[in-house]
Structure 1
Amino acid sequence: MTLLEKIYETRDFLRAKGMIEPEFGLILGSGLGELAEEIENAIVVDYADIPNWGRSTVVGHAGKLVYGDLAGRKVLALQGRFHFYEGNPMEVVTFPVRIMKALGCHSVLVTNAAGGIGFGPGTLMLIKDHINFTGTNPLIGANLDEFGPRFPDMSDAYTAAYREKAQAIAQKQNIKLEEGVYIGVTGPAYETPAEIRAFQTMGAQAVGMSTVPEVIVAAHSGLKVLGISAITNFAAGFQSELNHEEVVEVTQRIKEDFKGLVKALIKEL
């Protein structure tokens, strides 16, 4: 079965479940999946039950697809994403973004937990651009002409108008919202202090193991994108040790600001 055939098979399966014409796709990172529990009139499908779908194996990722109403808009939320470091091919990592487009989404809100290079733990950072340091690209292979061009423009991958709106909303809600460049690596090992110093020189303010492949595919598909990093720890060299437990713990601390911001954004975008 070709990738296109898989996309259409999965789209038709989800439509049959009642997932009709969502406006926004939400990709909820480590510790941030709780937002999906606020979706009303929810239709919930376990990842294991969706044809051609991947599996999420990371703590803090529930592994459910949730469709319904949030802030008065139809949304399709991923409670848990797929990572390259889990052994998934890029086709699987980015497949949910293709499905969001195929079902009718016009925008994707992508979130992650990230290490801070320019900002400290507890910071919400709007992603204004990214550096793809994964050593690969999800568009390698035959181009899906039905979705986008062979050589997509990445100049405005993180939609500028959405970032402006996010800053205005954050100001109204008295939420401190930083803005910076996210560098995506494969993981799963945390970066060395020398790597972080190199990334700092390259202009990155946050580092993580996701998001970049999904945003590349979103841009290829003509989707508008807003990206938010929850800075959960200092990157290597800025603190004595790194662990995933701290990532989940810090996201718990900042989740109310995060949820309030995302809901207001969905309502106004």
Structure 2
Amino acid sequence: MNQLQENVKEAAEFLSSRLSHAPTIGVITGTGLGSAVGTLEGAFTINYGDMPHFPVSTVVGHSGQLMVGTLAGQQVMVMQGRFHLYEGYTPIQVTFPVRVMQALGVRHLILSNAAGGLNLSFSQGDLMIIGDHINLTGENPLVGPNLDDWGPRFPEMTAAWDPLLVALCRQAADGLGIAVQDGVYAGLKGPSLETPAEIRFLKTIGADAVGMSTVMEAIAAVHAGMRVLGISTITNINDPDHPQPATLEEIVEVANQAAPRLRSLIEAVVAGIGRGDQS
């Protein structure tokens, strides 16, 4: 067992000793979306900095807390805020929480993020179900010796975003009367925002939304054998012919406004997973 595996084991044992029930579903929230899961019954809450080996969120809109409790009858582990490559963290550090979830027995992972819209048919505040992604970060959390206990050397990514979970999410949105978009998410390293020329390039290669997170976690989760669902909140529209500056404060505000709809959708998806609707 190498040092990384030891660190993951220690963090997982630290949490397991404090939990009455192991989580089966994981949720990682994005910028301004810390309230996207709402209140968990019987929640255990702890700051990232109080857990062994956990990085600490440094970005506005990421509260940096972990919660474990019951949502829609299921034991859920929620990361309120994530870690990013642009903060200086390595892909291994960014995906550390996913490996801890894996060690605790999490089999379903829901990823949310705030993203810039590239598809001009989208509107600010839309929710987009991720159907596929493009990794443009130049990074991959699986580089280096493969840890066979964690997953295969060459994980299959043709259905990285689980089709059954995507269908469950669409069904849940319909039942709630929540309009959702579908699209491809492009992951960049950041932290600089995109130039008009870069936006044109991203649109040309088929991206509908762009952000600076999510892809590393999705790759690690697929490697871990998890079923993955992603939902982007479209916080601004990137029109290269009419570029408008986007501030972090505006992005957080739009994400906060969308959080109640996202919260309802995630709860309905969690309930559906509990019923086995995605089997």
TM-score when scaled to structure 2? 0.94
Tell me the equivalent position of 1:97. 98
Report if aligned partners of 1:111, 1:227 keep a CA contact under 8 Å in 2.
yes
Tell me the equivalent position of 2:277. none
Indicate yes or no: 2:252 matched with 1:251.
no
C-alpha deviation, 1:253, in angstroms: 1.7
**Equivalent position SS for 1:34:** coil
C-alpha deviation, 1:37, in angstroms: 4.3
- The amino acid across from 1:47 in the alignment is Y
Cα offsets for 1:156-179 (capped at 9, x unmatched): 110000111111111111111110
Matches within 5 A, 1:120-159: 120-159=123-162
- The amino acid across from 1:129 in the alignment is D
Tell me the equivalent position of 1:195. 198
Tell me the equivalent position of 1:212. 215
Report if aligned partners of 2:41, 2:70 keep a CA contact under 8 Å in 1.
yes
The runs of 5 or more residues in structure 1 that have no matched partner are: none
Give me the whole-angstrom Cα distance separating, in 1, the residues matched to 2:59 and 2:239: 21
Cα offsets for 1:11-47 (capped at 9, x unmatched): 1111112164201100011111113441110101111
- Between the aligned residues of both structures, percent identity stands at 46
Out of 171, 175, 178, the position equivalent to 2:174 is: 171
- The amino acid across from 2:237 in the alignment is F
**Equivalent position SS for 2:35:** helix
Report the aligned-residue RMSD.
Answer: 1.1
Give me the whole-angstrom Cα distance separating, in 1, the residues matched to 2:173 and 2:24: 22
- The amino acid across from 1:161 in the alignment is L
Report if aligned partners of 2:36, 2:260 keep a CA contact under 8 Å in 1.
no
Give me the whole-angstrom Cα distance separating, in 2, the residues matched to 1:40 and 1:135: 40
Cα offsets for 1:182-219 (capped at 9, x unmatched): 00000000011100100000000000000000000000
Out of 223, 228, 245, the position equivalent to 1:225 is: 228
Runs of 4+ in 1 over 4 A off after TM superposition: none
TM-score when scaled to structure 1? 0.97
Tell me the equivalent position of 2:48. 47
**Equivalent position SS for 1:44:** strand
C-alpha deviation, 1:71, in angstroms: 1.3
C-alpha deviation, 1:251, in angstroms: 1.1
Aligned length: 269
The runs of 5 or more residues in structure 2 that have no matched partner are: 274-279
**Equivalent position SS for 1:149:** coil
